[in-house]
Structure 1
């Protein structure tokens, strides 16, 4: 029946192939297609749902014309420029073929007006641009972003062959890294805007020297407050670079609207349902890592947020700018602000964004709210229901106002993996029956330049802007006439050119009186760009009725001593507007010592009863802040608002500790646990007061995680019974494992061995299961006493052998295996552990000894077409996956969460990720080899590094372990995943993938 339906589909397609429009296949017809047909360009449009019936999606270009497009731009002639990534992360994908000549930059062109590319030109090809992640065309210059470099190609004679290649910036992260340098875009102010992800580390000039901030500090991840992903701008020639915002994870692109406002998406730690859209405030900290300690978001902290997505971005912390929109699971990529007129009105002036993870294109309508915004999510295109190989990597506006979408087209997305090297598509989205027509722009007259200045295509906007700027005074009249028009955004575009004129500052003051708050916002932004020095002007604008304008004034005084302006801004703050509060914090960053006392004096002696004053104290960073926070804590009924305790973490450490000690004498009992958690404690030189309190308090701590934290921190040995109760509970595996580790550390092996020898066999086996989860050589040696004991029962011996796994434990087990000291009846279990070991060296040695049964016999074609049993797969996942991954509320938070993995990866990608785990390591989950000065080595995931500590997660643990940097010799990233190659049969693998595919 299925084959006959497929035949009808193909016959129908043949009959209508000569007609103007091919009807979209029904779901039944689409399901009847073979996998090969579904993946072909012929049926590409059938796999993507257009959610607005006024719009039409067309296939502009596809393989073999291009493959693996990572980014694109459209020039003023309507030609699509594409960066390809055939050689994507080749050092991590050795099994994939490569092009020795390197990746390409293509120019795709529709020469016959049928809305399809029929001409392809290779602009450049070379290994130096392998897997470039950004391209931008500005006149005769092409900016190509490929970490660690930004190249500028110049085509001086317009023959589509670069005459010059220069390095503009360098030293941006690792070679070819996904989390490095991303694309450039043109801002309406004549600046270029760009960003990099959290592998960027720092921005350097071509000679290797770092760019400097206004205080002369190098802008690198080693210089506070800068860290993780950052946003920048510079002049078109690369001069005057500025850092604008920081502490993102992998902010793939930044987009700028006509008022100069920045919008950006950001990717979470893979699998944690925390991707986001941000309105980017200048000088904002966006909270990916702890501002002070740089600790990972999973690190427990006081006042920790309730939900993962809030925890992920530290949204309860003072000094973190709020998010605009949460997109939860995804792999966000290209973004734009659509300021064209071709698409229906509701799309105009909105942010449009590609998310390759859930296979969608979305729009985000936003509304001003105080000093910030609120937004909603509207899907435009959706490939997930049919073709989850649709992986939109970028969105760009063409000269006619249509939207072009590049499609990486692959079974997977993210990490370092690539499942398909042959395919790639470019689509065009426009109103129905709107053919792609682009005429050559006319830059010869003032009138035509004004018309082109309004074009939504950035390449045209750039050239028109530069031409009008070069005209100078000659263009004054027509620009002033254009500025007088009613269209606010186009008025703003004229404004940015008028300020370039000799008396441009007068236009800034004129714009500051405009009735449109967005024009006034642009005026304050221009004040900064023009480096005006007019405190009276800013003082006046600090009283503007718009909080949006006040936000900009606050940003404008960040590096200035402007007490009068700041105080006026503070008077306008109303509690609850986090955007405004963070703007005040940005402005007061280097002036809190003088600003805060004056503010509180004006607030009066009853300041502690005023919500606004309490908020500002919470956000402040002065030497008096800890004492003020102490007052607030003592003022409130018990328990005090935990946010005040958390605020202490951002103050001077000595003053923070003194405040906590003061609170011990004055505070409420309910707060003592927090004080114990926050206070600095050195077990080698213990503080008697803190240790005494910890001993007296530990037994009554209600929260188990708090209890474990206090027991471990203060090395309390009088809580054995509660530790045991946590170890033997079955509700939370991670909590049980953590408790077992602490128990082992505090009491050693003796008590554990006794429990494992219990005369009640069921109790003995339970002890083996619970304590065997501790991965250490000592525990592995203890387990050997049981599985190696011929007098023990088969059940005891089997349980002990099954628990002899883990990175460190498997090294011990291998020592017995290579000496043939493993009993024959337990050898199959040992082989399965060793051949699926966390340690690749052991895996290889075990395969040589026993035969590589894991890698043999997998028929990928057969597995793709086989139907698995999801129920069986769930059991397999519980056995193998939950030891290191979270699935909903179960499992251990070590590797990326799998709760929605079925929505991100196709069946092919899931199979590949399990068989070849090293090819798809997510950034932040790479294996790190840590060598200690005493000769010890560990393999782990490094979560963060502070000035004194290395914070890591050990294999199979959801908790973090802290090592002193002084004890560490080196930290080296390895190319292998910590995920073992599971020894699954073909059917087990099919069943597991069937189950994982249901997790959406």
Structure 2
């Protein structure tokens, strides 16, 4: 609903205020905003910003359209990339239409009055896919345009020589290309790269190394031409800044989780897939303690740090970043957490009343303003129809403190080096950063004896990089804390290995024992990651590992392990002895390093390394630490049977001397993997012992599946078919899958009628993996003993991977054709859309449908498994659910592609790749079950561009099941259990899941009643779709008057603030019906899913 209408309503209604929030309610991932494009001035007028700030328009269409990236040069001019090739890429045989513009304020009034087109796509020597990153420097412009990184010489604001610096950047996912260019404090060019785009980057000309990356932060040294991954992980990063006070990078992502503290060499939590180091065995987590996805979506872009005296005190620990779905700029407040931060949610910094506001990036300007580029489109999401994007709008705003006086920007390039150094003290980050860049470009100035500085600030240290003096040697342990953070980082980045080795040796004594802070240890650990593959950094890493107080630090343990791993592999005996001698009362060693050391040495595949691990476990004096080491060994060996190393007999005797239950249990599990008959019998006993703890019985069942002894088949069958716990029965079925037992299929299928849906799924998964079992399964389907709907397209693909013509023919006969065409899927979606309108759904039954159909792969509402993407952040409106449930492969990233693995023994396994190292791969299957497969046992692997989620899932459920599922999963469900009263006559109309409440044909007053239960007193919004003026009352309160839309009713046209009481609340809506087949839509804004409604008792039969 246009805000002007809402504001007029606020004036007309003086009884009680109606809430007129921007479209942060009811956001949709796919759906266009539906709001007409506003004039730029009206967009500004509808914008609310934090107290003490104001928003001004700097530039707008037609001066600028589709701004995807920007920077600000030394003259204060804004350089913007206009992107016309998103999202489809440049057509083959064509030159791109993207271009770079310079926006300039020539008279200092804060408004762009001069626009210069610097270069257009047709001017480039080669075509590119689309342009997405820009930075100025070194007399020209750096442009990221996959597959290239260009340098364009600036000849008086016209392009000179165009050089291809790098090539090989991918654009498989056009909203995850290289982006957010900026100069780091070290003078290198930094950029970001998303998780679903794969790149193999190499020099633009000549030979050079290839760097593979996805989900990464990268940097490029413009002087040495060296390209490298700075850190890897996160998801789709599109916004990063370094803090002015300590130089630390803070990054935001376009999907949850949204905020990370980035340190060099860090391996961060990924949205999907596996990083480049298979032996990282862990990841650095996000720093945010919250998400925004329930209130405004999970798409964030553009970030800037406000830690500067230029900002009011309350914002100086904050970062702000754009919310694309929320049409707003969010704020996170940073608090110290060890050597890192915790980011908590602050009040929104800016909220736009324009539903087409799409903030993409933020940069400091010469007057202390923050420039914000607004892509400005009705579409908020990359998954919109590729032909539905707008290419006629775009805005650049200035966000500034109120009353800020603007002036014509000074050309900082005309200042001499001493004047540039003085700008480091300017509270405007633009000044100090631009001065830093210019000094680094000059590279010949001197500032004299740095020891005379009373406080060697990080900014001055950055300046030293441009100086022939070089970086002064840091003095770890001096106060104040963080004084030497960047000094340590820069000091250990010299390109000469001997120099670095000498510097590490000189610093090592400082880190033995007390005397250093966690910030210094973080920087040293990070540097050791960088040098651990080329230098022996063992002494320094050992010194860091003695600091047990860092065990719970969010960053340091992962860095230390990554740096230590090469030393461990190259000198396993020495390092295990060192760990044994220093493990006592050091949780950093016992909880992080020892378990990972066991995993890593098993992964070498060398029997001598396994023997060293066994002796190490024996020699440990603490039973708790010994149990951790043994548990890691059991996990690392996985489902393999190994020949026992020579050390096993003596080790087993010593281990059995430890009477600690966990040590005994783990020793038995280890013994099974070494063909120990006595341990096998013990596992058989535990698995069948009803009084044994469930987790021990499940472990025993898994071990029986590894041992594959024929005597275990019948006990496992009894467990699978018996009345025991569901988890145990499922594990028994999985374990049976490893046996070569021709009659297994008929034995399992005999009790099919007594199996729960999840157990049936496990049986189908197992039986589809062998030819003879698959034949029995298809025969049972043909004989109607097994419902056809128990098999989905993934089951059939697995059977087809067995490469048996007879089985393929049987599939066609009893199940049908494997893949629906796009047209068929679209017809199915249209059909189910109509079905959602004809009857309500049940929340409670929908939860059961989710558990049976979706929880195997998806996490939602605290239920399910994380195999596929987390679905809580999606818009979860009806269109979103229709497409993502019924046609899940329409949009899918490569990390979720399904692998089909054919084994040499004739079995087939399928799943998503979870991990891979030199010895094995690990697949993640439904219910988050991990299956480790040794590479020596694999015949071939095929990657299929489809997810584990079956297409046409509604074919495996009834229409009512689908209604129930949508009702359970959808965000902010509609009111469907309502009473409509006209005069004295009350009726209960049939209201479908899609929420359309039909009104009587007769004209006159209409009263609608509904109930909602709240867990506590709470304020929220009632979202209505209504043509006529109306009143709203809760629990008999004074009616609130509202103005209808004047148009045909559609969801969420009006928002009304309401207060609910704890317990049941009665809602009354009254209006006049026009008697023309009118309707009403209604739902409460409920991002945390707290509200409950009367559930459907009896479902209509379909």
In 1: Cα distance, 2:799 partner to 2:575 partner:
64
* Residues 96, 121 of structure 2: 8 Å contact kept: yes
Shift of 1:187: 1.9
Shift of 1:186: 0.9
Task: Go from structure 1 to structure 2 and tell me whether the alpha carbon gap of 1:143 and 1:938 turns closer, same or farther (over 3 Å shift).
Answer: farther
Pair 1:925 & 2:900 matched:
no
- Give runs of aligned pairs for residues 554-953 of structure 1, distance below 5 A: 554-555=525-526, 558-559=531-532, 560=535, 574=549, 576=551, 578=553, 579=555, 585=561, 588=564, 591=567, 608=584, 614=590, 618=594, 626=613, 629-631=616-618, 635-636=622-623, 642=628, 645-646=631-632, 664-667=652-655, 668-675=660-667, 681=673, 691=680, 694-695=683-684, 697-699=686-688, 702-703=694-695, 705-716=698-709, 718=712, 720=714, 739-743=732-736, 746=739, 750=743, 753=746, 771-772=763-764, 776=768, 781-782=775-776, 785=779, 788-789=782-783, 800-809=787-796, 839=818, 842-844=819-821, 847=824, 853-854=827-828, 869=841, 871=843, 877=850, 881-882=854-855, 884-891=857-864, 893-898=866-871, 900-902=872-874, 904=875, 909-914=880-885, 916-927=887-898, 940-953=911-924
* Residues 618, 644 of structure 1: 8 Å contact kept: no
In 1: Cα distance, 2:765 partner to 2:147 partner:
42
In 1: Cα distance, 2:721 partner to 2:63 partner:
59
Shift of 1:421: 1.5
What is the aligned counterpart of 1:398 among 346, 365, 372? 365
Q: Does 516-525 or 989-998 show the bigger shift? A: 989-998
Pair 1:277 & 2:287 matched:
no
* Residues 406, 425 of structure 1: 8 Å contact kept: yes
- Give runs of aligned pairs for residues 449-464 of structure 1, distance below 5 A: 449-450=420-421, 452-453=423-424, 461=432, 463-464=434-435
Pair 1:294 & 2:278 matched:
yes
Q: Secondary structure at the match of 1:538?
A: helix
* Residues 66, 84 of structure 1: 8 Å contact kept: yes
Q: Secondary structure at the match of 1:376?
A: strand
* Residues 46, 353 of structure 2: 8 Å contact kept: yes
1:207-230 CA deviation, whole Å, 9 max, x = no partner? 47554xxxxxx7657xxxxxx644
In 2: Cα distance, 1:590 partner to 1:925 partner:
30
In 2: Cα distance, 1:742 partner to 1:875 partner:
26
In 1: Cα distance, 2:33 partner to 2:526 partner:
55
Q: Partner of 1:335 in structure 2?
A: 303
In 2: Cα distance, 1:343 partner to 1:60 partner:
21
In 2: Cα distance, 1:589 partner to 1:388 partner:
50
Q: Partner of 1:144 in structure 2?
A: 143
TM-score normalised by the chain length of structure 1: 0.72
What is the aligned counterpart of 1:206 among 198, 204, 207? 204
1:738-761 CA deviation, whole Å, 9 max, x = no partner? 654544554857465467567x97
In 1: Cα distance, 2:543 partner to 2:135 partner:
42
Pair 1:538 & 2:507 matched:
yes
Q: Secondary structure at the match of 1:464?
A: helix
Pair 1:996 & 2:950 matched:
no
1:957-999 CA deviation, whole Å, 9 max, x = no partner? 7554636377444544537885414558999988755542247
Q: Partner of 2:459 in structure 1?
A: 493
Q: Secondary structure at the match of 1:190?
A: coil
Q: Partner of 1:125 in structure 2?
A: 121
Q: Secondary structure at the match of 1:526?
A: helix
Q: What's the C-alpha RMSD, in Å, of the aligned pairs?
A: 5.8
1:153-179 CA deviation, whole Å, 9 max, x = no partner? 3323313xx333322223345655655
Q: Partner of 1:521 in structure 2?
A: 485
* Residues 892, 958 of structure 1: 8 Å contact kept: no
Q: Does 531-540 or 379-388 show the bigger shift? A: 379-388
Task: Go from structure 1 to structure 2 and tell me whether the alpha carbon gap of 1:384 and 1:157 turns closer, same or farther (over 3 Å shift).
Answer: closer
What is the aligned counterpart of 1:376 among 320, 343, 347? 343
Task: Go from structure 1 to structure 2 and tell me whether the alpha carbon gap of 1:599 and 1:516 turns closer, same or farther (over 3 Å shift).
Answer: farther
Shift of 1:921: 1.3
In 2: Cα distance, 1:62 partner to 1:279 partner:
34
In 2: Cα distance, 1:911 partner to 1:257 partner:
43
1:790-847 CA deviation, whole Å, 9 max, x = no partner? xxxxxx66x6233243423389899999999979xxxxxx7xxx6xx8x4xx313995
In 2: Cα distance, 1:164 partner to 1:694 partner:
73
Shift of 1:104: 1.8
Unmatched tracts of structure 2, length 5 or more: 602-608, 973-1086, 1089-1102
Q: Does 594-603 or 539-548 show the bigger shift? A: 594-603
Q: Partner of 2:1037 in structure 1?
A: none
- Give runs of aligned pairs for residues 420-499 of structure 1, distance below 5 A: 421-422=389-390, 426-434=396-404, 439-446=409-416, 448-450=419-421, 452-453=423-424, 461=432, 463-469=434-440, 476=447, 484=453, 491-498=457-464
Task: Go from structure 1 to structure 2 and tell me whether the alpha carbon gap of 1:391 and 1:966 turns closer, same or farther (over 3 Å shift).
Answer: farther
What is the aligned counterpart of 2:316 among 348, 370, 394? 348
Q: Partner of 1:793 in structure 2?
A: none
Task: Go from structure 1 to structure 2 and tell me whether the alpha carbon gap of 1:944 and 1:465 turns closer, same or farther (over 3 Å shift).
Answer: same
* Residues 669, 679 of structure 2: 8 Å contact kept: no
In 2: Cα distance, 1:785 partner to 1:241 partner:
58
In 2: Cα distance, 1:694 partner to 1:53 partner:
67
* Residues 193, 216 of structure 2: 8 Å contact kept: yes
Pair 1:165 & 2:162 matched:
yes
Q: Partner of 1:792 in structure 2?
A: none
* Residues 329, 351 of structure 2: 8 Å contact kept: no
Pair 1:184 & 2:181 matched:
yes
In 1: Cα distance, 2:592 partner to 2:761 partner:
52
* Residues 449, 464 of structure 1: 8 Å contact kept: yes
* Residues 173, 201 of structure 1: 8 Å contact kept: yes
In 2: Cα distance, 1:701 partner to 1:30 partner:
48
* Residues 139, 462 of structure 1: 8 Å contact kept: no
Name the larger-Rg structure: 2
Q: Partner of 1:826 in structure 2?
A: none
Q: Secondary structure at the match of 1:917?
A: coil
Q: Secondary structure at the match of 1:854?
A: helix
Q: Secondary structure at the match of 2:923?
A: strand
Q: Secondary structure at the match of 2:868?
A: coil
* Residues 412, 906 of structure 1: 8 Å contact kept: no
Q: Does 436-445 or 577-586 show the bigger shift? A: 577-586
In 1: Cα distance, 2:277 partner to 2:666 partner:
18
In 2: Cα distance, 1:775 partner to 1:385 partner:
56
In 2: Cα distance, 1:857 partner to 1:119 partner:
54
In 1: Cα distance, 2:350 partner to 2:842 partner:
24
* Residues 108, 118 of structure 1: 8 Å contact kept: no
Shift of 1:180: 5.7
What is the aligned counterpart of 1:256 among 225, 231, 242? 242
Shift of 1:887: 2.6
1:342-374 CA deviation, whole Å, 9 max, x = no partner? 43223336544446577764445445555x133
Task: Go from structure 1 to structure 2 and tell me whether the alpha carbon gap of 1:356 and 1:550 turns closer, same or farther (over 3 Å shift).
Answer: same
* Residues 356, 393 of structure 1: 8 Å contact kept: yes
Task: Go from structure 1 to structure 2 and tell me whether the alpha carbon gap of 1:354 and 1:545 turns closer, same or farther (over 3 Å shift).
Answer: same
Q: Secondary structure at the match of 1:671?
A: helix
Q: Secondary structure at the match of 1:443?
A: helix
- Give runs of aligned pairs for residues 22-41 of structure 1, distance below 5 A: 26-27=20-21, 38=35, 40-41=37-38
Shift of 1:645: 3.8
1:579-637 CA deviation, whole Å, 9 max, x = no partner? 55556556655556999999999999796356677569638959798368515755226
Task: Go from structure 1 to structure 2 and tell me whether the alpha carbon gap of 1:535 and 1:37 turns closer, same or farther (over 3 Å shift).
Answer: closer
TM-score normalised by the chain length of structure 2: 0.66
Q: Partner of 2:999 in structure 1?
A: none
In 2: Cα distance, 1:866 partner to 1:425 partner:
43
